[in-house]
Amino acid sequence: MRSMLVIGLGRFGTHLAKNLIQLNNEVMVVDKDEESVSRLEPYVTQAQIGDCADGEVLQALGVGNFDVCFVCISDDFQSSLEITCLLKEMGARYVVSKADREIHAKFLLKVGADAIVHPERDMAQRTAALYSAKNVFSYTELSDAYAVSEVKTPGTWAGKTVRDVNVRSAHQVNIIGVKRGQMILPMTDPDYVFQPEEHLVMAGGKEDLLKIADMD
């Protein structure tokens, strides 16, 4: 269990706080809008009304006690910038700030953000990948060049072993495991025989993954 502070309860901040709670974290939320705070209060560990651009409000939160502080303000970049800077000055251990534009991300990093999230950009990239190949079922970008994807086993692989297909050398990807229901079984046996219609979880270059997903 980790201790999280979520500042800003727009759509992203609200969903983030709820998901952090579902993953058994202690979550404190802060927003200057009373209605937004009231909606989340029953679900989170602590909820407070306040404008975190005010240094005294942040100081009172004890930001150095949280494992991660999230700045999720999207409609006021100046406030996001100031809060990110104040958090680091007050000893926040790790600050993740939301950015809507690349130029915003650069400024947030300069004033102290440890990491940046781009919700709209990331969702657009994931959606593009999901619908650019016919057999992609999930897709997570790791960097500009690499990703992890769940794809259906190509029909030409069915009945063959991992060794026969020579996946790593011939296709430049690594098979992490086989998905069975909600479980992912690690792929460690080179003599494993691929089954028709099963789903494989793979890591590799984006283009290489999409090529496999388009195979018959």
Which domains are delineated in the chain? Answer: 3-117 (3.40.50.720), 122-213 (3.30.70.1450)
Per the CB < 8 A criterion, the answer to whether 174 and 147 are in contact is no
Helix ranges restricted to H, the chain: 11-22, 34-40, 55-61, 77-89, 102-110, 119-132, 162-165, 167-171, 206-213
d(CA 160, CA 166): 10
Residues 83-115 have pLDDT tens digits of 999 999 999 999 999 998 889 999 999 999 999
Residues 6+ apart with CB under 8 A from 154: 135, 212, 215, 216
Q: Give the pLDDT of residue 129.
A: 80
Which has the higher per-residue pLDDT, 127 or 37?
Answer: 37
- Would you say residue 164 has pLDDT above 90? yes
Q: What are phi and psi of 93, to 5 degrees?
A: -70, -45
With CA atoms as reference, report the closest residue to 77 among 43, 113, 35: 113
Structure tokens at 31: 């927003």
Q: What is the mean pLDDT of residues 167-195?
A: 91
**For 9-23, 41-55, 121-135, 163-177, which range has the lowest pLDDT when averaged over its residues?**
121-135
Residues 16 and 26 sit within 8 Å (Cβ to Cβ): no
Question: In terms of residues, how long is the chain?
Answer: 216
pLDDT tens for 61-76 read 999 999 999 999 978 8
pLDDT at 201: 95
